[in-house]
Amino acid sequence: MNAFDLTEDQQDCLQELINVAMGQASDQLARYLDTFVYLKVPSIEQVRAEHLFDSLNEDLAATAIVSQGFFGYEGIRGEALLMYEPQDSHRLADLLGYEAGELTFDEQIIDLSSILTTTFLNVFANQIDNQMSYSAPRLLSGSLGSVNKHLQQQAFNWDLALKVRISYQVTDYSFNCDMVLLIPEEAIINIKTVIDRILAEF
């Protein structure tokens, strides 16, 4: 086992933290849109650098991607990607209740992405007695090349990363979007320390 690997107890604890944060983010979105939001079981996987971008390429049936960095205490940080499918991204104005011309498409998609990213990560951080700060959200084109270039510009070591994928489905609007969290190796090692502290309290 290397320093990155999670034990079964650590994996279960992390899964539960993610489930709680995902549930509250979903509830926030449902209240915001006044509709029901369906969630799939999130996937959590360890990805090496040589497979990271291939793994992301499998997710990128997207026309628009919003990326937002997050930074917490104790060295916890990473990058959140919100991905929207072509047929769904153009429903944003109706979905968010904007009048025609009120906001540009870029502003609409960044608005929704910020709600999902910050709600999820704030709840996650609160559960581990942490607090998150965020970089400005950035709209990327829906291509692997643009994501690859953006991630390579970050001050993280992506040799090894934890990839968490969460899917949101807004049933009344037939709208789907995926959140992919990428957490670099050094941040996961720090999260393991926090998880061990939580487990020791039980």
Task: Note the pLDDT tens digit of each residue in 163-174.
Answer: 898 888 877 666
Identify whether 65 is part of a domain: yes
**Alpha helix segments (H runs only) across 34-167:** 49-59, 86-89, 92-96, 105-127, 144-152
Q: Which of these, 140, 116, 118, lies nearest to 60 by C-alpha position?
A: 140
Say which CATH number the domain at 27 has.
3.40.1550.10
For 192, what's the count of Cα atoms within 13 Å in the CB-facing half-sphere? 16
Q: Which of these, 195, 84, 64, 80, lies nearest to 132 by C-alpha position?
A: 80
- Could you tell me the residue range of the domain that residue 88 belongs to? 8-200
pTM: 0.82
Give the residue-averaged pLDDT of 80-96.
69
Give the residue-averaged pLDDT of 108-120.
84
More reliable by pLDDT, 19 or 31: 19
Percent of the chain whose predicted confidence (pLDDT) is above 90: 8
The answer to whether the CB of 7 falls within 8 A of the CB of 121 is no
Percent of the chain whose predicted confidence (pLDDT) is above 70: 79
Q: Which two tokens stand for residue 82?
A: 């919100």
More reliable by pLDDT, 63 or 180: 180
Residue 134: what pLDDT? 93
Residue 41: what pLDDT? 79
Identify whether 152 is part of a domain: yes
Identify whether 146 is part of a domain: yes
Looking at the structure of the chain, the number of domains it has is 1
> Based on the number of CB atoms within 10 Å of its own CB, is 179 exposed (0-12), middle (13-18) or buried (19 or more)?
buried
Task: Note the pLDDT tens digit of each residue in 192-202.
Answer: 888 998 899 87
